[in-house]
Amino acid sequence: DSADKGEFRHYMLKEIYEQPKVIKATMEGRITDRRVLEQALGTGANELLADVRHVQIIACGTSYHAGMVARYWIEELAGIACSVEVASEYRYRKHVIQPDTLFLCISQSGETADTLAALRQAKQAGFRAALAICNVPGSSLVRESDLVIMTHAGPEIGVASTKAFTTQLVSLLIFTLALARHNGLSEEREADIVTALHQLPGQIDDALALDGKIAELSRAFIDKNHSLFLGRGAMYPVAMEGALKLKEISYIHAEAYPAGELKHGPLALVDSEMPVVTVAPNNELLEKLKSNLEEVRARGGELFVFADGDAELKEQPGIHVMQIPGVHSITAPIVYTLPLQLLSYHVAVLKGTDVDQPRNLAKSVTVE
């Protein structure tokens, strides 16, 4: 029962632990063992997807970070241009709409004022169609969109979004595969990624098993005022989401940077008072990331590295390494979100903040 915390101290922790289950529910009836089902996005969706040449994603907060991950997937797997923008910016500027652009809103609540306003504008503006990814059936966003993919996260009570984010990502990956099929994605590649989707609940359990170690490490943050989160590629928005979680519930200033930009500014801030959290991507970018990490180490920054696969990063003084082996590079952003959720949770608990109801924030921002 979603209104009951059960054995958990906070809704947020309960919702973090629900992720293997709700991710399974979000995939159910949408994929076979090798393919995305034709009917996964509802009737008429396939004909529409065949026409789509561009995707414009609009969202706020955590949902915006899900959209940023999706852009990497859509451009890599479907070869379709994708733009992502926060709704409050998009709605107040002039924009150029390419022919056959799909307008895609992502929202947990389906009631965020800026996102709804952007959708209402878009409907007058000549988009091919509007697709919503949403967690609340019957919400304004669902009612006003042409196509809908429901996330089956169940009610989310904690203000800091956790399970809604990872189910948005799963929905966006399924959408990307359905779109990519019209744009040259091979059956083998689709089967490979669908297999990776099926592995998610087990891998998320592996990530949850790091909980004890993360709780230990979180002590290093409680007397800090600032922190830096680094990632590259699709792990950059994961770093942004990790930083947002820490800000929201622990009130520690957290800034996310694409690791390659470190030398263009934030390196000046790094010293022993600045913990640096890194989500390490696939091997291709890993070597570059390693040299970024050395730059941080050389300035006395303490590093917390969540590493994908065979990262060959060794635990040493000042460098804490946590690995979840065997994660597919496409689904890695989903799995690597989990340890960052746990980190912010534990820091907030140690700091004694109101984890489920952080100060000044609302679960759903229905007025501008």
Q: Please count the residues of this chain forming the interface with ligand G6P, following the rule CB under 6 A.
A: 15
Place of tokens 């500014």: 265
Alpha carbon distance 208, 217 (integer Å)? 15
Binding region for ligand G6P (CB under 6 A) out of 25-33, 104-112, 147-155, 174-182: 104-112
Q: Indicate whether 115 belongs to the interface with ligand G6P (CB under 6 A).
A: yes
Give 92's contacts (C-beta < 8 A, 6+ positions apart): none
Task: Select which of 5, 123, 351, 363 is catalytic.
Answer: 363
**Tokens for 37?**
């089902």
In eight-state DSSP terms, residue 76 is I
Q: Which residue is nearest to ligand G6P (CB)?
A: 61
Give the integer Cα–Cα distance in Å for 13 and 284.
34
Helix, strand, or coil (residue 164): helix
Applying CB under 6 A, among 26, 88, 101, 107 the residue interacting with ligand G6P is: 107
Residue from the set 80, 132, 153, 159 that interacts with ligand G6P by CB under 6 A: 159
Placement of tokens 């592996």 in the chain: 206
224 is catalytic: no
Under 8 Å between Cβ of 81 and 75: yes
Q: Is the CB of residue 124 less than 8 Å from the CB of residue 107?
A: no
Three-state DSSP class for 132?
A: strand
Only segment of 42-50, 54-62, 267-275, 281-289 that touches ligand G6P (CB under 6 A): 54-62
> Minimum CB separation from ligand G6P for residue 43, in Å?
26
Of the residues 19, 26, 56, 63, which one makes contact with ligand G6P according to CB under 6 A: 63
Stretch that binds ligand G6P, among 6-14, 73-81, 108-116, 308-316 (CB under 6 A): 108-116
Are 55 and 74 in contact by the 8 Å Cβ rule? The answer is yes
- Our finding on whether 140 is near ligand G6P (CB under 6 A) is no
In this structure, what are the phi and psi dihedrals at residue 308, rounded to the nearest 5 degrees? -90, 135
CB of 23 to ligand G6P, least distance (A): 17
Residue closer to ligand G6P, measured from CB, 87 or 197: 87
- Burial of 16 by CB count in 10 Å (0-12 exposed, 13-18 middle, 19+ buried)? buried
Pick the closer one to ligand G6P by CB: 139 or 292: 139
Beta carbon of residue 248, minimum distance to ligand G6P (angstroms, whole number): 7
The token pair that represents 148 in the structure block: 């809908």
Give dist(CA 176, CA 105) in Å, integer.
14
Query: Which residue number, 167 or 278, has a Cβ lying nearer to ligand G6P?
Result: 167
Under the binding rule (CB under 6 A), the answer on residue 61 touching ligand G6P is yes
Nearer to ligand G6P, 181 or 247 (CB): 247
Candidate ranges 28-36, 102-110, 178-186, 329-337; the one touching ligand G6P (CB under 6 A): 102-110
Contact 240, 246 (CB under 8 A): no
Report the residue from 21, 34, 35, 363 that binds ligand G6P according to the rule CB under 6 A. 363
Q: Which residues are catalytic?
A: 363
Q: Under the rule (CB under 6 A), what is the footprint of ligand G6P?
A: 60-63, 107-109, 112, 115, 159, 161, 361, 363-365
